[in-house]
Structure 1
Amino acid sequence: MPFEDELGEALRRAGDGFPADRHALVQAGERRGRRLVARRRAAVIGGSVLSLALIGGAGAYAGGLLDGTGRSEIAAPPEPSGGPSGGDGTPVPELPPVPRGTGAVSAEQMVEVLKGLLPEGTLSVTRASGTDGSSAGVTGVYDDGKGGAEINVSVLRLDPNGVMAHTETLCSEKNLPEGDDCTTEQLADGSKLLIEQRHLPPSLTPGLKEWRAALATPQGYLVKFYESNSPFGLYPGNSPSAGATAITRTDPPLSPARLKALVTSDKWHPALNDLPAANAGPRG
């Protein structure tokens, strides 16, 4: 037998010669178990005391949870004088209220104006707003008999010299892919007009197109119109039959000439005049 095996066998025999004291082992195990139980109890009691202390502190802070009739009366935490403050204690300035129009032009009137500027067809309105806010507009599905298409028109006021007037009439891309087109034009009255026809990324829905027009005037008017070749617009995946089946027509319904006529129409002026004038915006 090799030396290593002989050594292992000798150690095993030596161990067998010292029988374990089973009674001592049981007692030691019992003591260890009691210590573990005591630790768990202490942890539970400590957590309960901490929870009660927190609840008691909250109750003291609230100034009394119940009155004599059993109704709860929890006081709000006091605010420092001077109004709300930030995390560092500095006062937070109150935001001015959002300017709104008088509501002289209703949502129904906005719909009628849009219908009058569209070619013959049907318009199913999904959302419309009048001039009782900071903007007004109409969203719906228009069908000229060649398939439904989502359309949207919105009117609002902006700073004619601000960056928004520039970006709203800016082409989405400099290098347009084949089949897309974008033109910007300055009209005789100084207004800026954008007409853009583009395909949206195939990852969204293959064949989905977005055509849009935007007019920014020196008076601070902004009229925007958008149309697609799907009744679900930019989100054809929301349709019951998602994917390419959501494309209902080859192109959106309105031609570039129709888009220009729609956004430059003075029929939007009553709504624009009723909306609040925009504050001076960032230059650039």
Structure 2
Amino acid sequence: MPQNEGTQHDGAPRERFEEELGAVLRSTGDGFAVDDRRELVAGGLQRGRRRLVRRRLAVTGGVLALAAVGIGGVYGGSLLGPAGQATTTTVAAPPQPGHANGTGTRTDAPTGKEPFAQPQIPAKDIAAVLKAHTPAGQWQFDDLEGRGQAVTGVYDDGHGKAGVSVGLYRAGGTAESGTGQVTCPDKNFVPFDSCTSERLPGGDRLMVLQGYEYADKREETKDWRAVLLTKDGLIVDASEYNAAAEKGAEISRENPPFSPAQLKALVTAEAWRPLLRQLPEPPKPPKGPGRSPSVPSAAAVQATLRSLLPRGATVTSHGGGDGHGYVVVDDGKGASMVGVDVQPTAGSVVAELFSGSGVVTLPDGTKVKSTQELGEKGGEGVVRWNVDTLSPKGFRVIVSAYNSGTQYEAATRAEPALTMEQLKAIALSPKWRKLPLK
């Protein structure tokens, strides 16, 4: 399946996804104070990339979970594509000729009204530390004249070219803001060969992941990654591939060039500390209507979902995070993943998604949108059944079910374990509105 993450088999579902993405992003922006929106866009474009987005998107197919893109500050700007990036260098993908970020100059020129100074670390300084803490080899970098937060290069040790990138970021207001970046992902959504997460002496945290660029492995591009989260909430994020680029390049070697131990040594090098200190302080969290929306806890969501499952659905695994959760059930006919995403304050713009044919309005004004479509993560024969609900007051619940235990593996059964009516009953349950919010 040659399409990118977030695409569907037939084109139409992709259009729906992009429509929903735009609406959710606009809705999320409505929750921030006007003075904070420039920082939101600039910061979001410069941080994290797509990797952590996948962890949220996989839960219910990538609709409501995208509200987190603008909230946490650790989700990636790659959703907007190279032309929308705010810095001259990116974390994982090299600038493309003709794009705004390939000129060596800032595309977000200062206006004098920025809420805080944008990081302007010389790219050559980041590259110098990268070269000094990796084995000897030939390097080619995209642009060492620019300034930003990251560099991307191609490394060749004589055994095949490999794309390598390093980015420096601030996780958020505290070190706890970045714990998701150093937590091993759920294998139900992100396949990997090995992952370790540890707390280092002194309080820093480290994750080393040996995974893949594509969840369905439609291309055998390996993505090995190490992320250091300092006790002060600063991040060093390094990725390497067994191809000359993250996407679109032929496999050039069996594995990426640096071992997990070498990746660890790279991101924990003391030489990063002076550069990390150049990152600006985060803005103070907004008050009143500008604060981040509250959601129910991960434990509450998972417990509620399990309580609403029909009889005979045996839970074999479960997981999720604040505001969302999933279970894998088996009724004796094969594994089936069921996910839920809860957004107590969806925002008025999200209502645009509940217009047109196929939307049913209940007597109390709640709108229900039901869809049955092919899965979006590449698993052979996987289908996704989805019920999306929105109350008149903006309380939104999405429930999805798949005919497989994961989205990227082949179908285990002809249809999901739950019917559309059962999914609808779960989504409309009053239990969701009674959950305490964090």
| TM-score after normalising by structure 2 | 0.37
Of residues 248, 263, 266 in structure 1, which corresponds to 2:270?
266
Of residues 122, 130, 138 in structure 2, which corresponds to 1:106?
122
Q: Secondary structure at the match of 2:34?
A: coil
* Residue of structure 1 in register with 2:348 after alignment: none
* Residue of structure 1 in register with 2:35 after alignment: 94
Residue identity opposite 2:269 in structure 1? S
Residue identity opposite 2:128 in structure 1? E
* Residue of structure 1 in register with 2:417 after alignment: none
Q: Where does the alignment leave 5 or more consecutive residues of structure 2 unmatched? A: 1-32, 37-112, 286-291, 295-321, 323-438
Q: CA deviation at 1:205?
A: 4.1
8 Å contact 2:122–2:144 — kept in the other structure?
A: no
Of residues 118, 135, 141 in structure 1, which corresponds to 2:134?
118
Q: Where does the alignment leave 5 or more consecutive residues of structure 1 unmatched? A: 1-91, 240-245
Q: CA deviation at 1:178?
A: 8.6
1:224 paired with 2:240, answer no
Give the paired residue count: 180
8 Å contact 1:160–1:218 — kept in the other structure?
A: no
* Residue of structure 2 in register with 1:61 after alignment: none
Larger strand fraction of residues:
2
Change (3 A) 1:162 1:205: same
Change (3 A) 1:110 1:162: closer
Q: Quick one: distance in 1 between partners of 2:284 and 2:175?
A: 7
Change (3 A) 1:98 1:127: farther
Q: Secondary structure at the match of 1:168?
A: helix
Q: Quick one: distance in 1 between partners of 2:260 and 2:128?
A: 22
8 Å contact 2:191–2:211 — kept in the other structure?
A: no
Change (3 A) 1:226 1:178: closer
Q: Quick one: distance in 1 between partners of 2:169 and 2:253?
A: 30
8 Å contact 1:220–1:277 — kept in the other structure?
A: no
Q: Quick one: distance in 2 between partners of 1:168 and 1:225?
A: 12
Change (3 A) 1:260 1:162: closer
Q: CA deviation at 1:127?
A: 4.2
- Map 1:34-183 → 2, pairs under 5 A: 93-95=34-36, 97-100=114-117, 103=120, 105-128=121-144, 133=148, 136-159=149-172, 161=174, 164-174=177-187, 180-183=193-196
Q: CA deviation at 1:129?
A: 7.5
**1:21-41: CA deviation from partner (whole Å, max 9, x where unpaired):** xxxxxxxxxxxxxxxxxxxxx
Change (3 A) 1:163 1:191: closer
Q: Quick one: distance in 2 between partners of 1:160 and 1:263?
A: 21
Structure whose CA Rg is larger: 1
Residue identity opposite 1:276 in structure 2? P
* Residue of structure 2 in register with 1:53 after alignment: none
Change (3 A) 1:141 1:94: same
Change (3 A) 1:93 1:165: closer
**1:32-65: CA deviation from partner (whole Å, max 9, x where unpaired):** xxxxxxxxxxxxxxxxxxxxxxxxxxxxxxxxxx
Q: Quick one: distance in 2 between partners of 1:158 and 1:179?
A: 24
Of residues 203, 210, 218 in structure 2, which corresponds to 1:197?
210
Q: CA deviation at 1:156?
A: 1.6
* Residue of structure 1 in register with 2:15 after alignment: none
Q: CA deviation at 1:94?
A: 3.4
* Residue of structure 1 in register with 2:254 after alignment: 250
Q: Quick one: distance in 1 between partners of 2:116 and 2:211?
A: 34
Of residues 264, 278, 281 in structure 1, which corresponds to 2:282?
278
Q: Quick one: distance in 1 between partners of 2:133 and 2:262?
A: 9
**1:162-205: CA deviation from partner (whole Å, max 9, x where unpaired):** 65411111222245999700010001111110000013437564
**Which one is further off, 195-204 or 116-125?**
195-204
Residue identity opposite 2:35 in structure 1? E
Q: Secondary structure at the match of 1:214?
A: strand
Change (3 A) 1:94 1:179: closer
8 Å contact 2:191–2:212 — kept in the other structure?
A: no
Q: Secondary structure at the match of 1:267?
A: helix
Q: Quick one: distance in 2 between partners of 1:182 and 1:114?
A: 22
8 Å contact 1:101–1:274 — kept in the other structure?
A: no
Q: Quick one: distance in 2 between partners of 1:277 and 1:166?
A: 18
8 Å contact 1:199–1:210 — kept in the other structure?
A: yes
Q: Quick one: distance in 2 between partners of 1:143 and 1:97?
A: 40
* Residue of structure 2 in register with 1:4 after alignment: none
Q: CA deviation at 1:158?
A: 2.4
Q: Secondary structure at the match of 1:183?
A: strand
* Residue of structure 2 in register with 1:26 after alignment: none
